[in-house]
């Protein structure tokens, strides 16, 4: 009888381990390859150095709320705030463009996930328009590089932006490998007197690798790449057409209730090319997502 019980217990344990869902390493700045309920406060603190050696900083924070309407679909809303203290310049604080969107996520197999995304950013950010405060517009623009140039739609305060994207994740054991691409089509709807470009096209992509070193701790790294597909007036040299950054960090995974998880993360990012490298950018990211 004892042998029989032990055999049954071992069989149940093996079955449970085989059917348990593999843990997913939530990316630091890429979109999750999932549709779910979440509230997420994500803050990037960028330190920069001017040509005269003076230092400055930009803090760009994003608040995201998503709600799962169906097993595979979750609409979301994102709000942003920037505080800037540039080297040798006038700083300030500004609310940037709000964004609405939705994620449609498919589980292709136990290991593979595919997520489609469509977002809209509305030109309501501070400093926009023909007679907007140019200092506030500059504060809003400072958030671009502070966010590794991955959230440009939020900071283009004169533009309405449509940005579709797709992500693919492979999740097995403690490993997550994820890639994503996004195309942003920006169209000027205000500020014709101060903004030359009536439209511009942007492209962003990213790679995330994460691994669970403990059930409650994962480590990860990211490559982030942004490129202007059109040639807007802000592309003045080859260096200003694109940006490549890398990030690494650690994330905790703490269960707070039956279906509530806190997944805080701390990551450090740095540029791999100009113009961010020439400006001495160093970025610390604090991410506080709660999934429920």
Question: What is d(CA 33, CA 167) in angstroms, rounded to the nearest whole number?
Answer: 6
Question: Which SS3 state, helix, strand or coil, does residue 43 take?
Answer: strand
162-178, pLDDT tens digit by residue?
Answer: 999 999 999 999 999 99
Question: What is d(CA 278, CA 214) in angstroms, rounded to the nearest whole number?
Answer: 38
CATH code (residue 286): 2.40.160.40
User: Judging by beta carbons within 10 Å of its beta carbon (0-12, 13-18, 19+), is residue 39 exposed, middle or buried?
Assistant: middle
**Inside any domain, residue 59:** yes
**Inside any domain, residue 24:** no
- Total domains present in the chain: 1
**Inside any domain, residue 151:** yes
Q: Which residue has the tokens 């071992």?
A: 10
pLDDT at 21: 79
Residues with Cβ within 8 Å of residue 179, at least 6 apart in sequence: 167, 168, 205, 206, 207, 208
**Inside any domain, residue 179:** yes
Residues with Cβ within 8 Å of residue 235, at least 6 apart in sequence: 228, 241
Q: Which residue has the tokens 């994102």?
A: 78
Beta-bridge mates of residue 172: 175
Question: Which SS3 state, helix, strand or coil, does residue 240 take?
Answer: helix
Q: Could you report the average pLDDT of every consecutive run of 10 residues in the chain (292 residues)?
A: 37 37 95 97 95 90 98 98 90 97 97 98 97 95 97 98 98 98 98 97 98 98 98 96 98 95 98 95 98 96
**Inside any domain, residue 53:** yes
**Inside any domain, residue 242:** yes
**Inside any domain, residue 17:** no
Domain that holds residue 198: 30-291
pLDDT at 20: 55
pLDDT at 9: 34
pLDDT at 17: 35
> Rounded to two decimals, what is the model's pTM?
0.91
Short-list 212, 117, 208, CA closest to 166: 117
**Inside any domain, residue 198:** yes
pLDDT at 27: 98
- Spatial contact of 216 and 198, defined as CB atoms under 8 Å apart: no
Question: What is d(CA 292, CA 30) in angstroms, rounded to the nearest whole number?
Answer: 20
């Amino acid at each position: 009888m004892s042998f029989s019980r032990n055999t049954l217990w071992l069989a149940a344990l093996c079955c449970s381990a085989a059917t348990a869902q593999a843990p997913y390493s939530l990316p630091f700045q890429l979109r999750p390859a999932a549709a779910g309920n979440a509230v997420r406060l994500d803050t990037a603190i960028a330190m920069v150095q001017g040509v005269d050696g003076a230092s400055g900083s930009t803090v760009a924070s994003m608040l995201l709320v998503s709600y799962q309407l169906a097993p595979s679909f979750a609409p979301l809303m994102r709000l942003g705030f920037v505080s800037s203290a540039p080297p040798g310049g006038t700083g300030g604080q500004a609310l940037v463009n709000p964004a609405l969107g939705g994620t449609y996520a498919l589980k292709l197999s136990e290991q593979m996930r595919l997520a489609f995304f469509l977002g809209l950013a509305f030109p309501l950010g501070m400093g926009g328009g023909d007679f907007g405060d140019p200092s506030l517009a500059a504060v809003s623009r400072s958030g671009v590089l502070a966010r590794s140039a991955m959230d440009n739609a939020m900071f283009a305060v004169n533009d309405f932006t449509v940005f579709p994207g797709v992500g693919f994740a492979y999740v097995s054991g403690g490993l997550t490998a994820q890639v994503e691409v996004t195309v942003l089509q920006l169209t000027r709807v205000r500020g014709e007197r101060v903004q030359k470009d009536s439209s511009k096209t942007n492209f962003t992509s990213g790679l995330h690798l994460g691994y669970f070193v403990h059930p409650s701790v994962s480590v990860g790294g990211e490559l982030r790449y942004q490129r202007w597909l059109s040639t807007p007036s802000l592309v003045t040299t080859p260096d200003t057409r694109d940006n490549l950054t890398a990030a690494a960090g650690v994330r905790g995974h703490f269960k707070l209730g039956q279906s509530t998880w806190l997944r805080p993360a701390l990551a450090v990012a740095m540029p791999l090319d100009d113009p961010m490298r020439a400006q001495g950018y160093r970025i610390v990211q604090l991410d506080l997502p709660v999934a429920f």
